[in-house]
Structure 1
Amino acid sequence: MALADRLLTLRRDVHSGEVLARGGDPKAHSILERTGFVLVARLHERYHRLPTGLDEAEEQRIATRAVARLRAVSYHVDCDEAFDTDNREPYYRPLGAQVANLADRLREATTTDEAADVLTELTATHDGILPALGDVLVAAADFFEGLGQPSDQYTARRLRYLAEERLRIVRSDLARTRTDLVGRHTPHPGRRPCTAETGPGETEASAVCACPPPRIPTSPGPLPTAPVPTSRRR
């Protein structure tokens, strides 16, 4: 990680009066957003600001807490004196990071059964991640429907569309992919568990592993074209 990614500034802008945070890497940005900051994406820059409508005391509380959280995980934060603190608030691994562990499990999978187990965590009917995400979208739609503004009704309909149409397609495709893997029961031809043992014909005393050298990743080619259905069952 570049040193610049560990540096942030958190100051009140002299022109707008807004409390702005600049710099940092995606993890720092996540900490800011979980503390209450809002991402601002411009054409040539990205930064974070505090929400509008806060009084100065609340702005100071949130900004100070962000400094405490960032410094607790070794970010260097250059901030206004009003936001400076010696406190260090622990940063706990969020739920999204735990879900991201599934990608690590897939990268380490050596058989179709292991890969299928990971996809099951996503697609399981009762308590899979994707069904739960659908529940969250529907609950958010219910919330917006009760707010009363015309734009809120549009947002609610959009959220229901995402849950009932877009997410349904993802769930359906992944479920079919998982079903295909479950029935194969084969080792991955390019992966195998490392036993740290030398091959039977190895004579060099320094040899410690018979595994082939890791493959060097190449640039990805174009995505495959989806097959065009020739007929539709009714």
Structure 2
Amino acid sequence: MALADRHLNLGRDEHSGEVLARGGDLEAHSILQRTGFVPVVRLHETYHRLPVGLDAAEETRLAIRAVARLRAVSYHVEADEAFDTETREPHYLPLGSQVAHLAEQIREATTSDEVSDVLTELTASHDGVLIALGEVLTAAASFYSDLGQAPDPHTAKRLQYLVEHRLGVIWSDLTHMRNDLADRHQDHPRRRACAAEVGPDEPEASAVCACPPPPPRLATSPAAPTPAARPRH
């Protein structure tokens, strides 16, 4: 990680009067967004601003909280004097990090049963991650449908479409894969549990574990597409 990615500037823009945060990596951007900031993507930069319509006191409160949260996880923040603070907020892993831990479990898995167990967390028909995501999108659709502005009914229908026709496909496909792996009871041919021990017939004291190297990680795209949930009946 570049050292520059650990630095941010947070202050009131002298031209627009907006409270802006510039710099930082994706983790810093997530912290800003969880503090209420809105990302702005331009051709040559991405920065964050506070929502429109806030009074000065609320802008100051959110800016100070952002500084406190960022510095709590060792970001260097250059802040306007009005936003500077010695406060540090406790940092807790967000829900997304807990879900992302499932990927690490799959990377370390040596058997089909282990991966099946992980995919079950995504696909469980009552309380799996994808089902829960579908409920969130459905609730958001209901919220939009009653807001009363002209684009809102379209947005509500779009959300419901994602639930019924996109997330439902992902849920169905992953459920099939989960069930397939559950029936296999197969060791992965290129992975095995490693005890970091050499074989009993190895005479050389300097010998090291003969396990094959782990498979290379596939490159991941920077932004995952928005999923959808189980079709409603």
Structure 2 length normalisation: TM-score?
0.91
Structure-to-structure mapping, 1:184-223, within 5 angstroms: 184-215=184-215
* Separation in 2, partners of 1:218, 1:72: 32
* Separation in 2, partners of 1:41, 1:201: 61
**Alpha-carbon deviations, 1:118-142, whole Å to 9, x = none?**
1110000001000111111111111
Structure-to-structure mapping, 1:123-142, within 5 angstroms: 123-142=123-142
Kindly state the Cα deviation for residue 201 of structure 1 after the two structures are TM-superposed: 2.7
Assess, with a 3 A threshold, how the Cα gap between structure 1 residues 219 and 5 changes in structure 2: closer, same or farther. Answer: closer
Structure-to-structure mapping, 1:1-234, within 5 angstroms: 1-215=1-215
CA RMSD after TM alignment:
1.5
Kindly state the Cα deviation for residue 210 of structure 1 after the two structures are TM-superposed: 2.9
* Separation in 2, partners of 1:4, 1:151: 40
Secondary structure of 1:173's aligned partner? helix
For 2:16, give the aligned amino acid.
S
Secondary structure of 2:148's aligned partner? coil
Aligned-residue sequence identity (percent) comes to 68
* Structure with more relative contact order (C-alpha pairs < 8 Å, separation 6 or more): 2
* Separation in 2, partners of 1:61, 1:100: 31
For 1:192, give the aligned amino acid.
R
**Alpha-carbon deviations, 1:29-65, whole Å to 9, x = none?**
1100000000111122111000000111111110000
Secondary structure of 1:9's aligned partner? strand
For 2:132, give the aligned amino acid.
A
Structure 1 length normalisation: TM-score?
0.90
Rg (Cα) greater in structure: 1
Show structure 2 runs of 5+ residues with no match: 221-233
Q: How many matched pairs?
A: 220
Show structure 1 runs of 5+ residues with no match: 221-234
Assess, with a 3 A threshold, how the Cα gap between structure 1 residues 32 and 218 changes in structure 2: closer, same or farther. Answer: closer
Kindly state the Cα deviation for residue 18 of structure 1 after the two structures are TM-superposed: 0.7
Assess, with a 3 A threshold, how the Cα gap between structure 1 residues 140 and 219 changes in structure 2: closer, same or farther. Answer: closer
Kindly state the Cα deviation for residue 218 of structure 1 after the two structures are TM-superposed: 7.9
For 1:77, give the aligned amino acid.
V
